[in-house]
Amino acid sequence: MIAGIDKIVLQTRDFQLKDADFLELESKKGPKNQPRLLCIDRTGKEVWGQKLYSNQPRTNLDINHQGLKVSFNPSKILHPYDLLKDTRKLREVIGMVEKEMSEVGVKTNLQECMLTRLDLTKQDVMPQPILVYSDAFRMLKGNRTEKREYPSGYSFGNKSRTFDVIFYDKGAELRDANLSNFMRVEVQYLKKPVLQKETTLITLSDVMRGGSDHLTQCYNAFLNNRVFSLKNQAGQQLAIDFNDEVEELKMYRQQYGRSGLNKYLLSKSIDNCLYAIGGVEMLKMILYGAGYQKSAVGKILRDFNNFLDVKGQIDRSRGRDTVAGMISEVRARFAA
């Protein structure tokens, strides 16, 4: 699935302002809010205060002592909830944003502005209501993240607020009954350093040159590295159904051949093992600590995640809505 662009924030010192009277001036009083020189408009007037701003239908503009900040949502400009997945369409969006900027007398080269925030997004209709996946989100343990629960979703971020990953019910947000089971997953690079490190993108023109494939690769890698470290659940089925177990073992044999029995037995204990060691990310650290080489660790973790995906598929095929199955389903849809 291709990732779409949900929000862009740009910053530059290279801009022109026709007349500051076209914008609103914020000028707070107090010892901590001393006015600063914001800019000199083309009429020659010096503008002092905390910031100039203009909130328009498609675009938000702010001018402070650091320069001009331009914020807009490319997807929402074109459609209430469909995602802009083709970066070539950004030219159309840029034209609309520049038109709104010109209406308040602000001019700059948007394509060469510095990226300071970028939100990438995927969305899909799930087979079950989004609330059903709550247990899966509760048991996920992200890599160096803090988890927050909301009425219709979960987010994984860090203390310094440099990034956020949000899983939520887009249909509920829009209050649209036609968008049932509609999950959206946003990766928000909230600060310039993490944005540049994770995407190698510096300006808006870089986004356009990089294309949709690059954005999708960045999105998938971030989700897999930061979120899908399984801490997992208690609550495996306690009642043993003989025929059901026979069919399950057959499926593992079909998938893995002679090692099918080992995989079947592993499937019965893997959840508790992961819980005990603290998840896949902790397993990686343990492997490195035990002296495994980087190439070996990579192969072990790839095989391990593949096994978790197979386990989830088998769980679902046996009619088991286990947490492992739901995590596998979400990961397969959004991070593969």
Mind listing the pLDDT tens digit for each residue in 222-261? Answer: 998 888 854 433 333 333 456 777 888 888 899 889 898 9
Task: State the Cα–Cα distance between residues 239 and 261, nearest whole angstrom.
Answer: 20
Looking at residue 232, its pLDDT comes to 32
Amino acid at 73: N
Predicted pLDDT of residue 237:
35
Query: Which range is most confident: 61-65, 139-143, 280-284?
Result: 61-65
Is residue 92 within 8 A of residue 72, CB to CB? The reply is no
Kindly report, residue by residue over 131-157, the tens digit of the pLDDT. Answer: 878 777 877 766 677 878 877 788 888
- The pTM for the full model equals 0.72
Rg of the chain's alpha carbons, rounded to an integer?
24
- Residue of 136, 126, 122 whose CA lies nearest to 327: 136
DSSP output for 229-292: -B---S----S--HHHHHHHHHHHHHHHGGGHHHHHHHHHHHHHHHHHHTSHHHHHHHHHHTT-
Alpha carbon 101 to chain centroid, angstroms: 28
**Lowest-pLDDT range of 45-49, 54-58, 217-221:** 45-49
What distance, in Å, lies between the first and last C-alpha atoms of the chain?
Answer: 8
The amino acid occupying position 129 is P
For the chain, the average pLDDT equals 86
pLDDT confidence tier of residue 158, bands split at 50, 70 and 90: confident
Residue listed under structure tokens 């779409």? 4
pLDDT at 106 over 90: yes
Token pair recorded at residue 31:
């010892």
CA angle 256, 257, 259 (to 5 degrees): 70
Show the CA angle centred on residue 174, arms to residues 169 and 177, nearest 5°: 80
pLDDT, average across residues 9-18: 95
Helix axes 260-277, 323-334, angle to 10 degrees: 90
Residues 97, 76 contacting (CB under 8 angstroms): no
Give yes or no for residue 328 having a pLDDT over 70.
yes
CB atoms within 10 A of CB 318: 16
